[in-house]
């Protein structure tokens, strides 16, 4: 026991020491943040260096632009920032300090004069331009008359100051950790680089052991951003920083090449971590130094060494924090993935909560399909019924006390028998009636009261039953919505699954056929629900996705795979996106023919075919009652509601009941419609028929004809009805024929239209759905000598086995 404790003590001490160091580091960072950012010392140091910054020997656009930005963004720190700028300018030279002081005063005067004006962001850059130009012209005019070159410098300084205000307005706020959106845009990154380069300009002339401070810091920043952002960011930092530093000191012109090349090389070698990026800077220093003055090579190597030392000493946490701000980095990608995962989880959780709410509502409305009332409830209703009868017939009778007090049981029993007899047959049994007449002094009055009250009792029972049925329908609808939302929540949380073996097979197979695969994502390999995405490069795309890749995937996964989506790059060797999925086992080819009553243009019949997703295909015919525009409105509205509800994923039976309720309740007018719906599962050719007041359908299988029929009233007539579902298994090359009553009942002088239609369909020598639909319509119209007595619609579907255009392409392992 003591030995275990002795072993655990060093570990506990190390953990405690680590926690203490973390707390100490956290306090140090918080203290630095409070001093540098909250108290503004970071801005004051920047102001001091920008006050010293001078380019082209005489041009200094940085100071006034910085003060203008602070005036606009952090007005409470503007005065102290102005003092810092003046101190920096005076540290450069008195002459320069006077110019900066005059420029700042002119700007303060203009900004204060127009502080109530709108569009300050538009006016401030103009004030900077006027302050820089007027101050410089005043300074030159005192010394001598301005030459053309000096006028050009004045205008350049004014324009640069105006542009720098716009740049600083984007980059200065980035120094504050209170930004709402921590992600940097490309424009913000460039603005920040320009700000850093401008600050470094203020350090020109400072040396440490013969090394220029601005060169050390510029190379340090190039190392950091090349390590974080790669070659593109590194070279951009090098070019911008080198350009601004070379403007400040012409002798530094070659430094632009050094920084740009070093940033590019360091970014390319970032896979080697910090040493790789450092090697890139050393290589750039040697290569650029060889072409320059050899005497400057040693100081340049010293500057590079100092920059690398600072780079290696920089904490890894700083790089990680900065990487999250720059798009394209690994940390930024992880941050975005975590954010998207969080959003997805929150969304799925909220959808599941709504699903639970609908489930709870469904449970609260749910009742048994055939609710059996208990004896107490029946007795209560009988008591209430007899009390109403007694109030109307026995209340003023002189025998009331004898009947209801002395012989209560017998009176109650006889009246209950009378009630039951009238309910069952309209009249009570003779024996019961005879006994009651001998017992009661006013039998006819009581009997009349019972008959009168029985109508109210039955109406109340019917209303109660309708309420129960309505509750059941609402419960079914809420249950359907709950299931749809639950499935949606699962779909949101669909993760990329790991299928290492299949990934290796696919990568190997594509490599064998010469495909350059850049990225492979396998989301699902479930039978009939394969979901694969890949990114490839093609020099000249000629349909290789469907011709080569899909057949190879079909052989590997042992099912037919097809291209679901493709986005091909418009230029050679560009990245192309291909999505593959399972092909349907069956496809449906449809044809339809219809005619309006009297050969008119408006038909009361409507039909539609709907792709429901999840491998389901629906066909529907609706016949509005009557003819003309009103009937068309009924049928079109029925199919529109059907399509919208079915596409949400709600079960067909619940959808039809919901449509029926809508049609029955939405208007006081009589608005009825039939519905003939067939839902085909394309995975196994299994079909469900839901017929609401519609005509029979037929399935033609060779010379055999199968009749499909069901008995339901048209939709909208009653609020509650049972939907009868008829199931049938279809086979390849089967023909499904659906029709409205205008076709089925249309033939004239035909005693049995059922047999006549079967013979006509069986005798047809074509299997084309459209031709069959046209022929059926034509045959019916011919029986009436061309007269169309009712709206007619026929829809024909042919079930075909899905045969892929390209066969499977087996890939064999390469023999060793």
Q: Residue 720 pLDDT > 70, yes or no?
A: no
Q: What is the pLDDT of residue 735?
A: 92
| 602 plus 732 within the same structural domain | yes
Residues 288 and 395 in one domain: no
Q: 658 and 781: one domain?
A: yes
The residue-averaged pLDDT of 72-81 equals: 85
Does residue 333 sit in the same domain as residue 353? no
What's the pLDDT at 591? 92
In a domain, 144, yes or no: yes
pLDDT at 667: 47
Residues 385 and 236 in one domain: no
772 and 650 in one domain? yes
Given 465, 500, 535, which residue is the final one in a domain? 500
pLDDT of 496 above 70:
no
Q: Per residue in 622-660, pLDDT tens?
A: 887 777 787 888 788 878 877 877 776 677 777 776 676
Query: What percentage of the chain reaches a pLDDT higher than 70?
Result: 82
pLDDT, position 794:
93
What is the band of 775 on the pLDDT scale with cuts at 50, 70, 90? very high
The most confident of the ranges 376-380, 451-455, 520-524, 769-773 is 769-773
Note the pLDDT of residue 180: 43
Let me know whether 548 and 614 are in one domain: no
The stretch 680-685 carries a mean pLDDT of 86
Residue range 328-333: mean pLDDT, rounded? 72
137 part of a folded domain: yes
Per-residue model confidence as pLDDT tens digits over 784-803: 878 888 888 999 999 988 87
Which pLDDT value is given to residue 774?
A: 92
Instruction: Kindly tell me the sign of the dihedral angle through the C-alpha atoms of 418, 420, 422, 425.
Output: negative
| Contact (CB, 8 A) for 714 and 676 | no
Same domain, 568 and 602: no
Which of 124-138, 200-214, 358-372 has the lowest average pLDDT?
358-372
Are both 232 and 284 inside the same structural domain?
yes
Domain boundary, last residue among 127, 150, 177? 177
Q: Is 541 exposed, middle or buried (0-12, 13-18, 19+ CB in 10 A)?
A: middle
pLDDT given at position 748: 75
- Are 648 and 778 in a shared domain? yes
> Considering just the CA atoms, what is the radius of gyration of the chain in Å?
44
What is residue 695's DSSP assignment?
P
Reply yes or no on whether the pLDDT at 585 is more than 90: no
Does the pLDDT value for residue 616 go beyond 70? Answer: yes
Assess whether pLDDT exceeds 70 at residue 477: no
Is there a domain that residue 19 lies in?
no
Do residues 534 and 388 both lie within one domain?
A: no
Of 292, 267, 271, the residue nearest 280 (C-alpha)? 267
DSSP 8-state code for residue 116? T
455 in the Ramachandran plot: left (φ > 0), alpha (ψ -120 to 50) or beta? alpha
Q: Sorting pLDDT into bands at 50, 70 and 90, what band is 269?
A: confident
Statement: the pTM of the whole predicted model exceeds 0.85: no
pLDDT at 814: 45
Contact present, 232 and 193 (Cβ < 8 Å): no
pLDDT single digits (tens) 348-357: 777 777 777 6
Q: Strand, helix or coil at 662?
A: helix
Same domain? 360 vs 308:
no
Instruction: Using the CB atoms, write b or e for 206-221: b if 16+ within 10 Å.
Output: eeeeebbbbbbbbbbb
> Which pLDDT score is estimated for 370?
39
Q: Is the pLDDT of residue 9 over 60?
A: no
Residue 401 maps to a domain: yes
Lowest-confidence pick of 89-98, 125-134, 401-410 = 401-410
Confirm whether 17 is domain-assigned.
no
- Range with the largest mean pLDDT of 404-413, 484-493, 690-699: 690-699
Hey, how many other C-beta atoms are within 10 angstroms of the C-beta on 767? 13
Q: Mean pLDDT across the stretch 103-122? A: 84
- Give the per-residue pLDDT at 796: 94
SS (H, E, C) 464-522: HHHHHHHHHHHHHHHHHHHHHHHHHHHHHCCCCCCCHHHHHHHHHHHHHCCCEEEEEEE
Out of 371-375, 462-466, 745-749, give the one with best mean pLDDT: 745-749
Q: Is residue 124 part of a domain?
A: yes
Quick one: pLDDT at residue 18? 64
pLDDT above 50: residue 371: no
Q: Which of 86-90, 147-151, 436-440 has the lowest mean pLDDT?
A: 436-440
More confident residue, 111 or 250: 111
Tens of pLDDT, residue by residue over 276-285, are 888 888 888 8
Residue 808 lies in a domain: no
pLDDT at position 795 is: 93
- Close Cβ partners of 721 (under 8 Å, ≥ 6 residues apart): 657, 660, 712, 713
Residue 369 is classified by DSSP as: T
Domain residues for the domain of 75 are 38-177
Range 1-19 average pLDDT: 55
Alpha-carbon distance 207 to 386, whole Å? 113
Is the predicted pLDDT of residue 87 greater than 60, yes or no? yes
Contacts of 267 (CB under 8 A, 6+ apart): 226, 227, 229, 230, 231, 232, 233, 234, 235, 277, 280
Cα angle: 110, vertex 71, 111; to 5 degrees:
10
pLDDT at residue 299 above 80?
Answer: yes
Looking at per-residue pLDDT, the higher value among 572 and 25 belongs to: 572
Place of tokens 């359907």: 480
Q: Which residues pair with 618 in a beta bridge?
A: 610, 679
If you average pLDDT over every residue of the chain, what do you get?
79
Domain count, the chain: 5
SS3 state of residue 586? strand
More confident residue, 440 or 711: 440
Q: Please check the confidence at residue 369 and state whether its pLDDT lies above 50.
A: no
Let me know if residue 150 belongs to a domain. Answer: yes
Confidence at residue 740, expressed as pLDDT on a 0 to 100 scale: 87
Instruction: Output the CA torsion 705→709→714→718 (10° steps).
Output: -170
Domain end position, chosen among 157, 177, 197: 177
What percent of the chain is modeled with pLDDT above 90?
Answer: 5
Q: Is the per-residue pLDDT at 736 higher than 90?
A: yes
Q: What is the pLDDT of residues 244-254, one digit of tens each?
A: 888 877 766 77
Q: Is residue 303 predicted with pLDDT exceeding 80?
A: yes
Neighbours of 145 (CB within 10 A): 7
């Amino acid at each position: 026991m003591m030995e275990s404790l002795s072993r655990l003590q060093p570990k506990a001490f190390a953990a405690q020491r680590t926690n203490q160091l973390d707390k100490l580091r956290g306090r140090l960072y918080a203290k630095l943040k409070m001093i540098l950012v909250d108290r503004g010392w970071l801005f004051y140091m920047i102001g001091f260096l920008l006050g010293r910054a001078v380019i082209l020997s005489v041009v200094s656009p940085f100071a006034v632009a910085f003060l203008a930005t602070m005036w606009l963004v952090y007005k409470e720190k503007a005065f102290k920032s102005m003092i810092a700028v003046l101190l920096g300018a005076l540290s450069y030279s008195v002459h320069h300090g006077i110019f900066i002081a005059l420029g700042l005063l002119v700007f303060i005067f203009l900004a204060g004069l127009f502080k109530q004006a709108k569009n300050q962001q538009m006016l401030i850059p103009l004030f900077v331009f006027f302050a820089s130009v007027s101050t410089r012209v005043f300074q030159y005019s005192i010394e001598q008359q301005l030459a053309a070159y000096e006028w050009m410098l004045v205008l350049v300084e004014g324009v640069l100051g105006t542009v720098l205000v716009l740049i600083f307005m984007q980059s200065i706020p980035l120094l504050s950790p209170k930004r709402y959106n921590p992600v940097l845009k490309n424009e913000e990154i460039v603005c920040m680089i320009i700000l850093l380069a401008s600050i470094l300009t203020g350090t020109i002339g400072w040396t440490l052991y013969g090394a220029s401070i601005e060169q050390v810091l510029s190379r340090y920043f190039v190392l950091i951003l090349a390590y974080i952002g790669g070659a593109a960011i590194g070279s951009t930092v090098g070019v911008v920083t080198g350009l601004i530093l070379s403007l400040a000191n012409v002798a530094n012109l070659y430094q632009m090449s050094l920084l740009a090349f070093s940033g590019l090389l360091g970014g390319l070698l970032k896979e080697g971590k910090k040493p790789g990026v450092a090697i890139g800077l050393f290589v750039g220093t040697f290569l650029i130094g060889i072409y320059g003055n050899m005497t400057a090579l040693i100081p340049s190597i010293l500057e590079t060494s100092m920059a690398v030392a600072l780079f290696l000493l920089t904490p890894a946490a700083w790089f990680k924090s900065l990487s999250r701000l720059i798009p394209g980095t690994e940390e930024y990608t992880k941050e975005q993935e975590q954010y998207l995962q969080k959003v997805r989880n929150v969304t799925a959780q909220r959808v599941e909560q709504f699903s639970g709410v609908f489930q709870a509502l469904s449970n609260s409305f749910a009742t048994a399909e055939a609710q059996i009332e208990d004896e107490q409830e029946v007795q209560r209703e009988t008591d209430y019924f007899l009390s109403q009868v007694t109030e109307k017939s026995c209340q003023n009778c002189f025998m009331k006390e004898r009947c209801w007090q002395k012989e209560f049981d017998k009176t109650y029993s006889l009246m209950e028998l009378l009630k039951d007899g009238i309910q069952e047959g309209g009249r009570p049994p003779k024996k019961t009636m005879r006994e009651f007449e001998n017992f009661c002094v006013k039998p006819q009055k009581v009997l009349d009261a019972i008959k009168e009250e029985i109508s109210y009792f039955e109406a109340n029972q019917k209303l109660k039953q309708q309420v129960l049925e309505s509750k059941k329908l609402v419960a079914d609808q809420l249950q359907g919505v709950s299931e749809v939302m639950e499935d949606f929540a699962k779909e949101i949380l669909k993760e990329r699954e790991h299928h290492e073996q299949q990934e290796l097979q696919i990568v190997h197979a594509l490599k064998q056929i010469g495909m350059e695969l850049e990225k492979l994502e396998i989301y699902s390999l479930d039978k009939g629900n394969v979901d694969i995405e890949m990114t490839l490069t093609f020099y000249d795309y000629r349909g290789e996705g469907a011709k080569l890749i899909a057949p190879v995937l079909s052989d590997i996964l042992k099912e037919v795979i097809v291209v679901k989506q493709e986005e091909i790059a418009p230029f050679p060797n560009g990245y192309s996106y291909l999505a593959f999925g399972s092909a349907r086992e069956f496809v449906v080819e449809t044809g339809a023919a219809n005619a309006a009553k009297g050969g008119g243009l408006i038909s009361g019949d409507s039909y539609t075919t709907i792709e429901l997703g999840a491998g389901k295909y629906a066909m529907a015919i609706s016949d509005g009652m009557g003819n003309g525009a009103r009937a068309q409105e009924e049928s079109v509205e029925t199919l529109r509601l059907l399509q919208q509800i079915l596409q949400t994923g709600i079960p067909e039976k619940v959808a039809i009941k919901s449509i029926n309720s809508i049609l029955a309740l939405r208007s006081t007018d009589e608005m009825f419609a039939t519905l003939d719906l067939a839902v085909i599962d394309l995975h196994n050719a299994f079909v469900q028929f839901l017929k609401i007041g519609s005509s029979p359908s037929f399935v033609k299988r060779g010379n055999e004809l199968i009749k499909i029929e069901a008995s339901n009233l048209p939709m909208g007539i009653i609020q509650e009805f049972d939907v009868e579902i008829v199931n049938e298994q279809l086979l390849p090359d089967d023909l499904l024929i659906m029709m409205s009553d205008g076709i089925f009942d249309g033939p004239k002088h035909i005693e049995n239209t059922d047999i006549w239609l079967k013979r006509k369909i069986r005798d047809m020598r074509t299997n084309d759905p459209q031709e069959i639909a046209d022929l059926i319509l034509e045959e019916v119209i011919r029986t009436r000598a061309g007269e169309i007595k009712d709206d007619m619609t026929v829809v024909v579907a042919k079930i075909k086995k899905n045969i892929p255009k390209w066969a499977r392409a087996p890939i064999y392992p390469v023999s060793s």
